[in-house]
Amino acid sequence: MKTMKAAKVKKHGEIGENCWSIWLEASEIVDEVNPGQFIHVKLNNGEKLLPRPLSICETDTSSNTLRLVYAVVGKGTEALSQVKTGETLRILGPLGNGFDINQSASKSIIVGGGMGIPPLLELSKNIPGKKEIYLGYSSTPFLLEEFEKQNADIYVSTDDGCFGYKGTVIDLMRYNNAQGDSLYSCGPKPMLKALSGWAEKNKIPAQVSLEERMACGVGACLVCTCKVKKENENDWKHQRVCADGPVFRSQEVVWDE
C-alpha cells in the first residue's frame, strides 16, 4: 500500500500566465513513474485542504526529482503556488494507470490541450521513432522549449492566434493532415471527444488521459467515474478515472456527456 512520502521542493516558480512549475525531490518513487500517472500533493500547512491530484510532467532519475506543472484554479493550488524552494511537501504516488506505449509504431501522434499538455512531455521523451506533436493553447504557449528538444515535429495552435495556427488543435491536425500509427492525448473532454472521432475515422488506435475532478485518488470515493464500454461487452459500466485510468482507449469511452 502506498503511503505519503516527504518531498523537498528543489525549484518552484511561474513559467507563464497562471502556469507554475515545481520540481520535487522524490527518490522513493521517481523510478516507478510511467508517463501519464499522477501524484497527490499535501501541503504541510494546509491540513484543512484535501491533497491535490497533479499529473507528472517529467522526471529526472539522475537527480531523483519529478516535475509538476499546474494552473492556479482553487484554494489548494493557490496555496501550493505560495510554497518556497527548500520547503517540504507530502506526496502520494505514482497513482493511476499511464500510457501503454506502442514500441513498434513507425510514427506516433501526441496531442495536448491546455493543462493536459504537461503530462505529455514525459510521454514524448519515452516514445521511440518518429513523432508529430500537436499542442493547443488558449493563448501564450508554455513548455514549448522542452517539447522542441524531443526530436519531433512540433505544431502549435492558439485560440486567439497569438502564436502558431489560429484555431483548435483538432483544426490544426486536419489542416496538417496528421498521420501516424498510434495516438496519445490529454486535454479537456470536448477536445478528447472530437479527437476520438477523428482517430476512429482515420483508423488510428488512440489513448486518452481524462481530466476529471478527483478526491481520494485511489478509487475509494467514486467521485471521478466515467462511462466505459469494453470490447465484446454488451453494455457500458462506470470506471474510476483515478484508479482504472486516467488513461483509457478512446474507443472504450462513452462520449455522451
Q: What whole-number distance in Å separates Cα of residue 198 and Cα of residue 137?
A: 19
- Whether residue 91 contacts residue 13, with contact meaning beta carbons closer than 8 Å, is answered with no
**Matching residue, cell 492525448:** 185
Q: Which tens digits make up the pLDDT trace of 72-83?
A: 998 889 999 999
Q: Which tens digits make up the pLDDT trace of 10-41?
A: 999 999 989 999 999 999 999 999 999 999 99
Domain boundaries, the chain: 5-95, 107-252
| Best CA proximity match to 178, nearest among 120, 107, 101 | 107
- Tell me the pLDDT band of 196, cut-offs 50, 70 and 90: very high
| Best CA proximity match to 17, nearest among 138, 182, 150, 188 | 138
Which stretches within 15-94 are classed as H helix? 75-80
Q: Which tens digits make up the pLDDT trace of 137-179?
A: 999 999 999 999 999 999 999 999 999 999 999 999 999 999 9
For 57, the grid coordinates are: 510532467
Report pLDDT for 230: 74
Helix (H) or strand (E) holding 145: helix 144-147
Q: What whole-number distance in Å separates Cα of residue 212 and Cα of residue 232?
A: 26
Report pLDDT for 226: 65
DSSP output for 212-225? ---SSSSSSS-TTE
- Whether residue 167 contacts residue 157, with contact meaning beta carbons closer than 8 Å, is answered with yes
What's the Cα-to-Cα distance from 141 to each of 44, 51, 234, rounded to whole Å? 32, 28, 43
Domain covering 107-252, topology: Rossmann fold (3.40.50)
Query: What sign results for the dihedral spanned by CA atoms 249, 252, 253, 256?
Result: positive
- Whether residue 113 contacts residue 238, with contact meaning beta carbons closer than 8 Å, is answered with no
Residue 2 has pLDDT above 60, yes or no: yes
Average pLDDT over the chain, rounded to whole?
89
**Choices 3.30.420.40, 1.10.3210.10, 3.40.50.300, 2.40.30.10: CATH for 5-95:** 2.40.30.10
Residue 184 has pLDDT above 80, yes or no: yes
Report pLDDT for 145: 96
Residue 246 has pLDDT above 80, yes or no: yes
Report pLDDT for 252: 85
Q: Give the pTM.
A: 0.91
- Are 5-95 and 107-252 the same fold in CATH? no
Q: Find residue 184's DSSP bridge partners.
A: 110, 207
- Tell me the pLDDT band of 120, cut-offs 50, 70 and 90: very high
What's the Cα-to-Cα distance from 223 to each of 56, 81, 241, 242, 244, rounded to whole Å? 21, 25, 9, 9, 13
Residue 241 has pLDDT above 60, yes or no: yes
Report pLDDT for 43: 85
